[in-house]
């Protein structure tokens, strides 16, 4: 008889059932936590379509599964920016005056930069079309399409995004 079996033999059946249920719950909880961590890591991977050296992410920015298109410009993401799931920042554009295969391969290389300033929050499924600047501490509501600059401390929403509120400014920035 092993030491574990001797230990179990001394315990009353209700205590053994309780320990068994507790161990089952612990195993399920650990499995869920492990799956959640793996899933969370997958959701934090972003895609760069274009030149990766044209994407500049501040080390404090939080970026989930976003797409960065740097074909026609650079993208700068400032400190403490939050980019939620399914966000697309697109500098690339095609020439509508071209037809067929020419339209597919004709795109400007510069001048469509996107800048996301400090503390801005781009909520789920936002699309930002360059060139534009998302101002300091501004908020872009879920599902919005940004086609123009967003002033600092502004909340925008809709397609196209329009101002719907203001973010309170702290005393030091006023």
Q: Residue 113: is its pLDDT beyond 70?
A: yes
User: How does pLDDT run across 3-19, given as a tens digit for each residue?
Assistant: 666 666 777 777 767 77
What is the 8-class DSSP label of residue 52? G
How many angstroms separate the CA atoms of 74 and 111, rounded? 8
Q: Quick one: pLDDT at residue 107?
A: 77
Identify the active-site residue in 46, 76, 88, 94: 94
Q: Quick one: pLDDT at residue 24?
A: 67
Structure tokens at 73: 């410009």
How many angstroms separate the CA atoms of 121 and 115, rounded? 13
Q: Quick one: pLDDT at residue 46?
A: 85
> Does pTM top 0.75 for this prediction?
no
Contact present, 137 and 153 (Cβ < 8 Å): yes
What is the rounded average pLDDT for all residues in the chain? 85
pLDDT-derived band at 27, boundaries 50, 70, 90: low
How many angstroms separate the CA atoms of 62 and 57, rounded? 9
Structure tokens at 15: 């205590």
Whether 45 is catalytic? no
């Amino acid at each position: 008889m092993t030491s574990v079996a001797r230990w179990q033999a001394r315990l009353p059946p209700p205590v053994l059932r309780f320990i068994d249920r507790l161990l089952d719950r612990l195993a399920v909880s650990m499995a869920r936590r492990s799956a959640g961590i793996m899933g969370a890591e997958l959701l934090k991977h972003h895609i760069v379509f274009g030149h990766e050296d044209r994407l500049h992410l501040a080390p404090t920015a939080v970026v989930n599964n976003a797409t960065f298109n740097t074909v026609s410009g650079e993208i700068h993401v400032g400190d403490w920016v939050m980019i939620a799931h399914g966000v697309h920042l697109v500098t690339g554009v095609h020439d509508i005056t071209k037809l067929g295969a020419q339209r597919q391969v004709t795109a400007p290389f510069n001048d469509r930069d996107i800048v996301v300033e400090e503390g801005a929050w781009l909520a789920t499924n936002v699309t930002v079309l360059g060139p534009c600047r998302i101002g300091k501490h501004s908020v872009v509501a879920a599902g919005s399409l940004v086609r123009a600059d967003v002033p600092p401390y502004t909340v925008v929403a809709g397609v196209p995004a329009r101002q719907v509120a203001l973010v309170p400014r702290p005393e030091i920035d006023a």
